[in-house]
Amino acid sequence: MNKQEKSLTMTVLMTPDMANFSGNVHGGSLLKLLDQVAYACAAKYCKNYVVTAALDQVFFRQQVNVGELVTFFAHVNHVGRSSMEIGVKVVAENLRTHEKRHTTSCYFTMVAMDENGRSVEVPQLQLDTDLEKRINAAAAMRKKMRQESLEKIRALHVNLPEDDF
């Protein structure tokens, strides 16, 4: 059996064009890179075009500074029929001191699509190590919690009158 491509690492230097008004890295710049790395990890795994279906709450634990080297560690945690949970861990490194900080972790749901825009099956995930099994079990629980919270959020939705937007 061929070894599956389940992980991907991307390292990017934080340049001044990514800064916000305070001179730190803009959250939106990081979100764009997060989405790119999740896309690349999922597409490489399933060898198909994928779309971003959802991104769980993202908490930026610490700010990221211009000039730091940021590494995105992405991994296929869990797969359903057509969806994949991609976990991304972000580590920022100060290049002068070599201090490394874990600044955020988040979970994307990516869905494989065919050329007609329909979701398609992805290869089932081979779990090779105990760690992969633990990661997979946690992701399965998150998927369940995600579905439950989606139902609760939909029940709370208030439709605005059409004139208001």
Ligand X SMILES: CC(C)(COP(=O)(O)OP(=O)(O)OC[C@H]1O[C@@H](n2cnc3c(N)ncnc32)[C@H](O)[C@@H]1OP(=O)(O)O)[C@@H](O)C(=O)NCCC(=O)NCCS
Residues that bind ligand X (CB under 6 A): 51-54, 80-83, 109, 111, 119, 146, 150
CB of 118 to ligand X, least distance (A): 7
Grouping H, G, I as helix, E, B as strand and the rest as coil, residue 103 is: strand
Q: Which residue is nearest to ligand X (CB)?
A: 80
Grouping H, G, I as helix, E, B as strand and the rest as coil, residue 33 is: helix
- The smaller minimum CB distance to ligand X, of residues 3 and 118, is found at 118
Q: Which two tokens stand for residue 157?
A: 């939705």
- The smaller minimum CB distance to ligand X, of residues 53 and 145, is found at 53
Count of other CB atoms within 10 angstroms of residue 95:
10
CB of 105 to ligand X, least distance (A): 18
CB of 10 to ligand X, least distance (A): 19
CB of 115 to ligand X, least distance (A): 13
Closest alpha carbon to 76 in 9, 141, 145, 6: 6
- The smaller minimum CB distance to ligand X, of residues 24 and 119, is found at 119
> What is the maximum alpha-carbon separation in the chain?
58
- The smaller minimum CB distance to ligand X, of residues 54 and 141, is found at 54
Distance from the first to the final alpha carbon of the chain:
54
